[in-house]
Amino acid sequence: MANEDPTDLPSLRPTSWATLGLLSFGEELSGYDLKKWADWSLRFFYWAPSYSQIYSELRKLEEIGYASSRVVNKDDVRGKRLYRITPEGEAAMTRWANEAPVEPAVLKHGVMLRMWLGHAGDPEHLREVLLAHREQSEKMRIRAVADREGAAKEPGWAFPEMVLNWSVKYYEDERDRADAMLADLDKFARKQKRSRRTPAAKRTSDELRSHSV
């Protein structure tokens, strides 16, 4: 979609855009501030990068002219570097938000991976894993609800508020899917128990061994 003319965007990764995006609200911020704000605001839908990556992103953004920085010396000894978005940075952000191709979200769901490999574990333990995941999801949902209240009070935060609204649903859905899966797992465990009592069990485990694809 966006790779022909020389006015073209440097192809940054979403994480770079996220960093620039944090600056795009207009404040002048240090790497430390950025990290804190990222943890607070992006965590619901975008894995927050570590300090060191934020620092290197900032250096990169400055190098390509999307951010500028200055050092403020508080009581001489140690300086801290504050970054600010440049007009070129704002223009690039806009183009990215409007024109970048729509990529699928990156998901690495460790809990589902373990469920997928359920044949290697035992149902009792898996049940606990799922329950813990359910509780984590519910906690995230509650935090998203609280943040949404906060965002609603701020003028000009309509988009963050929309995304928080999405996030509340996301963790609600995650919680509900965990519940549904717990039900599936229980059903499976009951079936296993029944078939262990009956001779049919032998056949099942033989087939498990032979893994025909």
Partner DNA sequence: GGGAGCATGTAACGGGTTACATGATTGG
Partner DNA sequence: CCAATCATGTAACCCGTTACATGCTCCC
Residues at the interface with DNA (CB under 7 A): 13, 15, 30-33, 36, 47, 49-53, 55-56, 60, 74-75, 77-81
- Give ∠ CA 71-72-78 in degrees, rounded to 5: 90
- The listed partner (DNA, its own copies, none) that binds 156, CB under 5 to 8 Å by sort, is its own copies
| Residues 108 and 126 sit within 8 Å (Cβ to Cβ) | no
For residues 174 and 109, give the distance between their C-alpha atoms in angstroms, rounded to a whole number. 11
For residues 67 and 89, give the distance between their C-alpha atoms in angstroms, rounded to a whole number. 6
**What character string, x for contact with its own copies (CB under 8 A) and - otherwise, covers 9-28?**
-----xx-xx--x--xxxx-
Closest approach of DNA to the CB of residue 74, in Å: 6
For residues 52 and 76, give the distance between their C-alpha atoms in angstroms, rounded to a whole number. 24
| Residues 67 and 89 sit within 8 Å (Cβ to Cβ) | yes
Is there binding between residue 7 and its own copies (CB under 8 A)?
Answer: no
Residue 196: CA count within 13 A, CB half-sphere? 6
- The listed partner (its own copies, DNA, none) that binds 85, CB under 5 to 8 Å by sort, is none
| Residues 85 and 21 sit within 8 Å (Cβ to Cβ) | no
Query: For its own copies, which is the closer residue by CB, 42 or 64?
Result: 42
- The listed partner (its own copies, DNA, none) that binds 186, CB under 5 to 8 Å by sort, is none
Phi and psi of 169, rounded to 5°? Answer: -65, -40
Query: For DNA, which is the closer residue by CB, 31 or 181?
Result: 31
**What character string, x for contact with its own copies (CB under 8 A) and - otherwise, covers 116-145?**
xxxxxxx--xx--x--xx--x---x-----
Query: For its own copies, which is the closer residue by CB, 31 or 49?
Result: 49
Is there binding between residue 77 and its own copies (CB under 8 A)?
Answer: no
Is there binding between residue 1 and its own copies (CB under 8 A)?
Answer: no
